[in-house]
Amino acid sequence: MYLDCAVFENYRNIVHFPFSFDPGINILYGKNAQGKTNVIEGIYFFGSGKSFRHAKERDLIREGENHSQISIAYVDAVRENKMSVRFFRDMSKEMFKNGIKIGRTSNFIGNFRAVLFCPEHLAIVKNDPSERRAFLDHAISQIDRSYLSALMEHKRLLEQRNALLKSENETKESFWMTLDILSERLAVCAAAITKIRAEYLKRLFDHACVLVQQMTEGREKIDVRYLSHIAGDAIEELFDKKGNEERYRRLMYENRKREVLAGTTIAGAHRDDFEIRLLGKNAKIFASQGQQRSIALAMKLAEGEIAREESGEYPVFLLDDVLSELDGERKKFVLSELSGRQVILTTCDEGDFSEIDEAKRIFVENGTYSYR
């Protein structure tokens, strides 16, 4: 899949610009605060249905204007498609695909597919478990629509169960009956989620491990450990949904008195995490900034690989400000790995990419763009 063109109108600091992209490498370069990330953000909106910078949609409208619009044309294995989105000041928006209005964001996403990698993604390696869960949940929901509904069901059940645990009604018989019912439902739902996450993680790291080794000519080896409340070291144990159910059931039963005291569900899929290890040590603590960046990038490339296995074609790779800080060897590997795929990347220093001949170069200055 590749993005052929994108027309931005009154989006952030862009008054109007019709971009045309190459199916290969595209480099947006320019000084800080000129409008490079704005382009990546606008394109990625078509992949995820929201701003990856967590911006409110009205912030996407150029100051002083009433609405903004982005239209794209992309080519997939079947045909060329057109999509557009219009944002209004009152926070409403209109979305279209091939001229037909789309009502729900869930029908808007899943058409144009992109993998984004930006500096914030280092958080996957460095930060709290919630960042890693968010990464997994996002990546899986790109390829499995039913996963999103399972997550929503899980969230709803967890909220109900926590509200009950907080209610201080444990002297009533109905309290324990309701707790049993909610625990049972939560166990079934959590078991499915942990199974899907574990399978995806295994698949992801099968690719990512190879990529990190290639990137460093075999010097660096990574592996992953799934951290859940219901299994030991072997990730494969979690592939058994019925087994997971049983273990979650038991866990909630054993914890129930403590949970009533705490007023919350102590253990479960909502606390799932994973540990990335570099040469056997926790990468969060032992890996250098560049090593962490390489690992996160390998995970993103692996995400693209899985997307291709699922859909038959590569997504578009959007790399915002992430390659410049890798050393020459790693950067070269990443760019050669990405050959044959479309890449749209940003950098402040175009010189970092001077050795690449076949790239489309776009100079960015104050919301205006010129091809060089």
Nearer to ligand ATP, 38 or 265 (CB): 38
Q: How far is the CB of 351 from ligand ATP (least distance, A)?
A: 15
The CA distance from 62 to 18, in Å, is 16
Looking at beta carbons only, is 10 or 37 nearer to Mg ion?
A: 37
Residue 92, judged by CB atoms within 10 A of its CB (0-12, 13-18, 19+), counts as exposed
Mention every residue, 6+ apart, whose C-beta is less than 8 A from residue 172: none
- Choose the one of ligand ATP, Mg ion, none that binds residue 173, judging by a C-beta under 5 to 8 angstroms depending on kind: none
Tell me the C-alpha distance between 121 and 174, whole Å: 45
- Cα separation, 289 vs 287, whole angstroms: 7
Q: What is the DSSP string of 262-277?
A: HTS--SSGGG-EEEEE
Binding partner of 300, given Mg ion, ligand ATP, none, CB within 5-8 angstroms per partner class: none
Question: Which among Mg ion, ligand ATP, none contacts residue 34 (Cβ within 5 to 8 A by kind)?
Answer: ligand ATP
Contacts of 204 (CB under 8 A, 6+ apart): 139, 299, 302, 303, 306
Q: Which residue's CB atom is positioned nearest to Mg ion?
A: 37
User: 36 vs 161, which CB is nearer to Mg ion?
Assistant: 36
Token pair for residue 191? Answer: 């078991």
Residue 362 CB, nearest approach to Mg ion (Å):
14
CB of 1 to ligand ATP, least distance (A): 24
Q: 86 CB contacts (<8 Å, ≥6 apart)? A: 67, 68, 69, 93, 94, 95
Residues lying near ligand ATP in the complex (CB under 6 A) are found at 12-13, 30, 32-38, 59, 61-63, 321, 348, 364
Q: How far apart are CA 53 and CA 51, in angstroms?
A: 5
Report, in Å, the least distance between residue 329 CB and ligand ATP: 24
348 touches, from Mg ion, ligand ATP, none (C-beta below 5 to 8 Å by class): ligand ATP
Q: Which is nearer to Mg ion, 37 or 142 (CB)?
A: 37
Residue 190 or 326: the one with the smaller Cβ distance to ligand ATP is 326
CB of 365 vs ligand ATP, minimal distance in Å: 9
Residues that bind Mg ion (CB under 5 A): 36-37
Nearer to ligand ATP, 13 or 71 (CB): 13
Structure tokens at 216: 């460093």
What residue 13 binds from Mg ion, ligand ATP, none (CB within 5 to 8 A, per partner kind)?
ligand ATP
For residue 168, the SS3 value is coil
Least Cβ distance, residue 15 to ligand ATP (angstroms): 10
DSSP string, 181-219: HHHHHHHHHHHHHHHHHHHHHHHHHHHHHHHHHHHTTTS
Q: Which partner, ligand ATP, Mg ion, none, binds residue 32 by CB below 5 to 8 Å per kind?
A: ligand ATP
Q: Which is nearer to ligand ATP, 61 or 318 (CB)?
A: 61
